[in-house]
Amino acid sequence: MVIMDFLERNAKVYPDDVALVEINPQAQPKSWREYSLIESSPGEKYRRSITWREFDVKANRFANLLLTRGIKKGDKVAILLMNCIDWLPIYFGILKTGALAVPMNYRYTQDEISYCVNLSDSTYMVFGPEFTGRVTAVLDKLQAIKHFFFVGSEVPEFADSFSRMITYCSSVAPAVDLNEDDNAAIYFSSGTTGFPKAILHSHAALVSSCRTEQNHHGQTKNDVFLCIPPLYHTGAKMHWFGSLMTGGKAVLLKGVKPEWIIQTVSDERATIVWLLVPWVQDILDAIERGDLKLEDYDLSCWRLMHVGAQPVPPSLIKNWKKVFPNHQYDTNYGLSESIGPGCVHLGVENIHKVGAIGKAGYLWETRVVDASGNDVKTGEVGELLVKGPGVMKCYYKNPEATDEVLKDGWLYTGDMAKVDEDGFIFLVDRKKDVIISGGENLYPVQIEDYLRCNDKIKDVAVIGLPDNRLGEIAAAIIEVKPGLTMTEEEVMFFCEGMPRYKRPKKIIFAPVPRNPTGKIEKPKLREIYCGKSLVEQQITR
């Protein structure tokens, strides 16, 4: 079985049911409630939708367009798009040709774009108007690209119009022989630990993620999934795979303001919403300030809120449950190397274990080991290993890095964890983020979780700074909630509830940078406050 089989089944069984909705709040006409498909500008609507049949037809047309341009099985197609209603049909169109989809981070600089295109051996590219300048600036470094396809109205002279060209192509699926062992996609690591690596996945991995996601969250045909994170990342796409497997509707929201999220849940009758930690906090803050009044919305449809992509502070979920007591809560843990979320899963029935990432997910195994590869005892800290059908084939063109993390089928995650007496796994920190201060191991996530319990703190990141006496000291970068003030003395007083050796020795009040998937960009913080470049960090950590 290959991943396109689900799409083609949905097109046959549910041809006229809505598959995807795109909501663009910035294109709203006069007020939020007055959308009804009113165009705000030529070619751009507040709300757009496509059925399963239209989804499949568009994917088929793009596949046939690629074939007319000489694409072959095994070729790579880079995707550089913001979330939009064409994103997933383009992805599936690529796969229908036997080529590999290569989604790219929309925050990439022009140099990162050329680096990742060349690393992945991409020979075709699909991009949107937000990236015209960046792509144009590195055209001389993208000479391997045979054809550019542009999704938008103002088409650069070096590209073909996606919308115009596919209208002339057949809507019949191309006859390409594929099986589950064939390569399907290359994803890039998030870059929170250095330069991105190219991660190779098969169709079998993509199919397994559908089964894992649906098993964990029990999606049915009647569920509506609200997708806000970027589709280039495995997290958003693989959570959507639950909708793909069941034929349910999904909504792509182009924006993260609290009122946009809540209004979309209400209007589109969303039942499942995946949020990142900053957005959860923003919603709670907006409610607390009175900017967001829940009585103005009908949220009775919303059954599940789950958070992932990073450690989740227990205090955050406790505060959420006070506001939304009837919501099920869940969290998933995963990596791009494990085809995204689900290799570890908490489960809605385990809310009493909030703070844990859970146990081995459906079809997965886990271990926590010491430096010698031996299982640690209950409560001891070790490195988390996972094994299952979603483990990557390799780091593309990087056998040395592959050998470092893939051993006997086990993926060494680089995350430090411990297991409690009930078998639940708790993340402690990234292996490379552990601070060694005066011979003591300090785990930044533990310090961050403690500080987030302070009502004035919106976000916090803890990193190690060089120290002549102790080797490293813990520094807390604290982002205070809007409209509030905080002093270093207040923070130090609050930290007296922690063991002395864990207390941060330096307090910095500044924004906490996060990437599009919500992870704290600690390499960026080390570069700012330690003066270490990314290259130096890779060598020394």
Copy the structure tokens of residue 141. Answer: 């470094």
Instruction: State the average pLDDT over residues 94-105.
Output: 97
**CB crowding 440-464: b at 16 or more within 10 Å, else e:** eebbbbbbbbbbbebeebbbbbbbb
Q: Report d(CA 277, CA 107) in Å as an integer.
A: 19
CA atoms within 13 A on the CB side of 268: 32
Nearest to 128 by CA among 94, 104, 111, 146: 104
Q: Report d(CA 37, CA 45) in Å as an integer.
A: 6
pLDDT surpassing 70 at residue 538: no
Average pLDDT of the chain to the nearest whole number: 90
Q: Report d(CA 349, CA 340) in Å as an integer.
A: 22
Whether the CB-CB separation of 470 and 437 falls below 8 Å is answered with yes
Whether the CB-CB separation of 173 and 96 falls below 8 Å is answered with yes
Strands 440-442 and 198-202: unpaired
Strands 147-150 and 160-161: parallel
Instruction: State the average pLDDT over residues 455-480.
Output: 88
Whether the CB-CB separation of 126 and 65 falls below 8 Å is answered with no
Percent of the chain with pLDDT over 70: 92
- Residue 31 is predicted with a pLDDT of 53
What is the tally of helices (H) and strands (E) in the chain?
16, 29
Q: Report d(CA 252, CA 264) in Å as an integer.
A: 10
**Residues 143-195 pLDDT 10s:** 999 999 999 999 999 999 999 999 999 999 999 999 999 999 999 986 544 56
Q: Which domains does the chain have, with CATH numbers?
A: 4-17+50-217 (3.40.50.12780), 434-540 (3.30.300.30)
Instruction: State the average pLDDT over residues 56-77.
Output: 98
Q: Indicate the pLDDT class of residue 40, thresholds 50, 70 and 90.
A: very low
Q: Report d(CA 364, CA 391) in Å as an integer.
A: 10
Structure-derived torsion over alpha carbons of residues 110, 115, 120, 121, reported in degrees to the nearest 10: 90
Nearest to 323 by CA among 288, 296, 353: 288
Copy the structure tokens of residue 9. Answer: 């089944």
